[in-house]
Structure 1
């Protein structure tokens, strides 16, 4: 309620430029979506908005241009799609029905992969970096079907802004070591 009141007070004067510092922190999902709607309406009506957020899904949803800042420096600038294409590649994520299918899937999908295939054995998940989008997905499913690998779930994913941030800042590497 406090955030809504703060935003309402700021909007009374219909400012041409509005600065919002993490406006959805602490909001429940319904309130967050409502805030996103208000922000989108502001931008559509011509207001310029500078939004700071650590919720990269929020930036992906709302921002026309995104600056990735690490240790106080802008390390990347562009649209969400521009930034995602910088880190490259789509990935095919699939869950197989049995642990035995994991190695078969890895072997069968190696020719389709555009990089290292990773597996999560307890989850029976295989992640394959690919190029070619839907055609790579279809080719992969044909190969798996030909080897009688039962697939419980499959998806073609583009990098998220979280992936972009972790790749560009190298924090995933620092935390893993």
Structure 2
């Protein structure tokens, strides 16, 4: 026996929730992609050198739970470059990896904002497009599944 709640059954509410969740993630992915495109549009290029690798374990809540053996630290490249103003700058990339994507001494292309050289990033796929793709992909997946369930459910009734 199905008991509707204010005209909607549990299936409709779950479908609505999945579509909403997917739509939210899709919007976040699109906003992050827009931020990357905006950054690329305004960015200046410079040559940089990886001067160090900063190893960090970014596991959330490691103090309150056991650390699993799979929780390995990631290497974040620390890059030094000289923008057009001539003042050497150093920044840590926002993207880390294990095994490391870069080694000390590697030459990299740096993108930075001319009005704010401290806002810099390595010109690489992961640092520019990983988050937009993850959020957008998950958003499309969940919104697509929710929509398919809604269409099939609508046709059956």
Quickly name the TM-score band, shorter chain normalised.
under 0.3
Q: TM-score, normalised by structure 1?
A: 0.18
Q: Of the two, which has the highest radius of gyration?
A: 2
